[in-house]
Structure 1
Amino acid sequence: MSHDPACLASTMIPPLSAPLHGVATVPGDKSISHRAVLFAAMAEGTSHLAGVLDSDDVRSSMAAVRQLGAQVSLEKQPDGSLAGSVTGWGVAGPRKPEGAVDCGNSGTTARLLMGVLAPWDVPVEITGDESLSRRPMRRITAPLMKMGVRFLPEGRETLPLTVRGTHGLRALTYDAPMASAQLKTAVLLAGVYAKGTTTVNEPAPSRNHTELMLPEFGVSTTAANCTAGVTGPQGLAACEVHVPGDPSSAAFLVCAAVLKRDSAIQVENVSLNTARIGFTRTLERMGAEVSVQRTGAAGKEPFGTISVCYTANLHGCEVPAEKIASIVDEVPVLALVAAFARGVTVFREVGELRVKETDRLAAVVEGLAHLGVEAYIDGNDLYVEGQPGLAVPEGVTLDSKGDHRLAMTWALAGLTGNTPVCVENFDAVRISYPQFLEDIERLAR
Structure 2
Amino acid sequence: MSHEPASASASSAASGHAVIEPLPSPLHGAATVPGDKSISHRAVLFSAMAEGTSRVSGVLDSEDVRSSIAAVGKLGAQVSLEKQPDGSLAGGITGWGAAGPKKPDGPIDCGNSGTTARLLMGVLAPWDVPVEITGDESLQRRPMRRITAPLMKMGARFEPGGRETLPVTEVGTRDLRAITYDAPMASAQLKTAVLLAGVYARGTTTLNEPSPSRNHTELMLPEFGVPTTAADRTASVTGPRTLQAAEVRVPGDPSSAAFLVCAAVLKAGSSIQVENVSLNTARIGFTRTLERMGADVSVRHAGAAGKEPYGIISACHTPNLHGCEVPAEKIATIVDEVPVLALVAAFARGVTVFREVGELRVKETDRLAAVVEGLELMGVEAYIDGNDLYVEGQPGLRVPEGVTFDSKGDHRLAMTWALAGLTGAVPVTVENFDSVKISYPRFLNDIERLAR
The TM-score by the shorter chain falls in which range?
A: over 0.9
Match of 2:59 in 1: 52
Counterpart CA distance in 2 for 1:139 and 1:3 is 41
Q: Deviations over 1:378-404 (max 9, x none)?
A: 000000000000000000000100000
The corresponding residue for 1:240 is: 247
Counterpart CA distance in 1 for 2:208 and 2:11 is 48
Shift of 1:298: 0.3
Q: Deviations over 1:238-258 (max 9, x none)?
A: 010000000000000000000
Query: Residue in 1 aligned with 2:432?
Result: 425
Question: Which of 386, 409, 414 is matched with 1:407 structurally?
Answer: 414
Q: Secondary structure at the match of 1:295?
A: strand
Instruction: Spell out, residue by residue over 1:17-48, the C-alpha distance to the aligned partner (whole angstroms, 9 max, x if none).
Output: 00000000000000000000000000000000
Pair 1:287-2:256 in alignment: no
Which letter maps to 2:198? G
Out of 255, 258, 266, the residue aligned to residue 265 of structure 2 is 258
In the other structure, the counterpart of 1:362 is: 369
Give the C-alpha shift of residue 4 in structure 1. 5.9
Matching of residue 3 in structure 1 with residue 12 in structure 2: yes
User: Is residue 82 from structure 1 mapped to residue 86 from structure 2 by the alignment?
Assistant: no
One of 121, 144, 166 as aligned partner of 1:159: 166
Matched residue type, 2:284: I
TM-score, normalization by structure 2: 0.98
Alignment partners' CA distance in 2, 1:239 and 1:170: 27
Q: Secondary structure at the match of 1:366?
A: helix
- What are the residue-to-residue correspondences of 1:45-444 with 2, within 5 Å? 45-444=52-451
Instruction: After TM superposition, give the deviation of residue 134 of structure 1 in Å.
Output: 0.3
Q: Where does the alignment leave 5 or more consecutive residues of structure 2 unmatched?
A: 1-9
What letter corresponds to residue 344 of structure 1 in structure 2?
V
Query: After TM superposition, where is structure 1 displaced by more than 6 Å over at least 4 residues in a row?
Result: none
Deviation readout 1:79-106 (Å, 9 max, x if unpaired): 0000000000000000000010000000
Partner of 2:37: 30
Instruction: Measure the CA separation in 2 of the matches of 1:260 and 1:227.
Output: 40
In 2, the alpha carbon distance for the partners of 1:46 and 1:2 equals: 41
CA contact (8 A) 1:291 1:308 kept: yes
Q: Which amino acid aligns with 2:241?
A: Q
Deviations 1:261-301 (A, max 9, x none): 00000000000000000000000000001100000000000
- In 2, the alpha carbon distance for the partners of 1:406 and 1:432 equals 12
Alignment partners' CA distance in 2, 1:154 and 1:281: 43
SS at match of 1:36: helix
For 2:171, give the aligned amino acid. Answer: R
What is the aligned-residue identity percentage?
83
The amino acid of 1:189's aligned partner reads: L
Q: CA deviation at 1:53?
A: 0.1
Contact 1:12–1:423 under 8 Å retained in 2: yes
RMSD between superposed Cα atoms in Å:
0.6
SS of residue matched to 2:370: helix
Listed one character per residue, the Cα deviations across residues 97-151 of structure 1 (whole Å, up to 9, x for unaligned) are: 0010000000000000000000000000000000000000000000000000000
Q: Equivalents in 2 of 1:4, 1:91: separation in Å?
A: 48
Shift of 1:303: 0.1
* Contact map agreement 2:352 2:390 (CA 8 A) in 1: yes
8 A contact 2:301–2:311 mirrored in 1: yes
Is the contact between residue 3 and residue 9 of structure 1 (CA under 8 Å) also seen in structure 2?
no
Unaligned runs of 5+ residues in structure 1 are: none
- How far is 1:9 from its partner? 1.6
Are 1:181 and 1:208, in contact at CA under 8 Å, matched by a contact in 2?
yes
Deviations 1:145-175 (A, max 9, x none): 0000000001111000000000110001000
May I ask how many residue pairs the two structures share in their alignment? 443
Distance 1:373 1:234 in 2: 53
TM-score normalised by L of structure 1: 0.99
Instruction: Give me the whole-angstrom Cα distance separating, in 1, the residues matched to 2:352 and 2:84.
Output: 41
CA contact 2:12–2:20 (8 Å) conserved in 1: no
**Distance in 2, Cα, partners of 1:236 & 1:249:** 30
AA aligned to 1:383 is Y
- CA displacement at 1:3 relative to structure 2: 3.3
Counterpart Cα distance in 2 of 1:2 and 1:384: 28
Q: Is 1:20 aligned to residue 27 of structure 2? A: yes
Tell me which residue corresponds to 2:4: none
Deviation readout 1:374-432 (Å, 9 max, x if unpaired)? 00000000000000000000000001000000000000000001100000000000000
Question: Aligned partners of 2:345 and 2:11: how far apart in 1?
Answer: 28
* Alpha-carbon distance between aligned partners in 2 of 1:308 and 1:13, rounded to the nearest angstrom: 22
SS at match of 2:243: coil
